[in-house]
């Protein structure tokens, strides 16, 4: 009884594929670009070579990128595009 109820509530998720990876990479690149231009003090903390961001700024931007990527992947999966 409980298993059928859980299956009725669970939604469809996408299996891993290269298109899922590309969406996640693009979401992270977008979030890092947004973070680079909007973080007020990106140089506080240890510096990441070549990016002009500190490690905390990069981790925060990557976290935002993963949230955006997961939302995009779930949304595209539910619409049937993935």
Predicted TM-score of the model (pTM): 0.79
pLDDT at 5: 61
The answer to whether 32 touches 59, Cβ cutoff 8 Å, is no
Residue 8: its pLDDT value, please?
Answer: 62
**Is residue 48 included in any domain, yes or no?**
yes
CA atoms of 58 and 61, how far apart (whole Å):
5
How many Å apart are CA 50 and CA 72, to the nearest integer?
28
Per-residue pLDDT at 39: 86
Provide the percentage of residues in the chain whose pLDDT is more than 70: 87
> Residue 4 falls within a domain, yes or no?
no
Task: Report pLDDT for 4.
Answer: 64
Is residue 1 included in any domain, yes or no?
A: no
Q: Residue 70: name the closest of 38, 28, 18 by CA.
A: 28
What was the pLDDT predicted at 2? 57
For residue 38, tell me if it sits in a domain: yes
Condensed to tens digits (0 to 9), the pLDDT of residues 14-42 reads: 788 999 999 999 999 999 999 989 988 87
Cα separation, 15 vs 4, in Å, equals: 22
Give pLDDT, residue 29: 96
* Residue 36 is assigned to a structural domain of this protein: yes
Cα–Cα distance between 11 and 39 in angstroms, integer?
Answer: 35
- Number of independent structural domains in the chain: 1
Domain span at residue 31 reads 14-79
């Amino acid at each position: 009884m409980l298993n059928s109820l859980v299956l009725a509530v669970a939604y469809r998720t996408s299996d891993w594929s290269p298109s899922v990876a590309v969406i996640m990479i693009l979401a992270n690149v977008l979030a890092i670009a947004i973070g680079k231009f909007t973080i007020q003090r990106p140089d506080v903390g240890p510096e990441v070579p070549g990016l002009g961001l500190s490690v905390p700024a990069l981790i925060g931007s990557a976290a935002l990128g993963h949230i955006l990527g997961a939302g995009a992947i779930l949304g595209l999966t539910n619409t049937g595009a993935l």
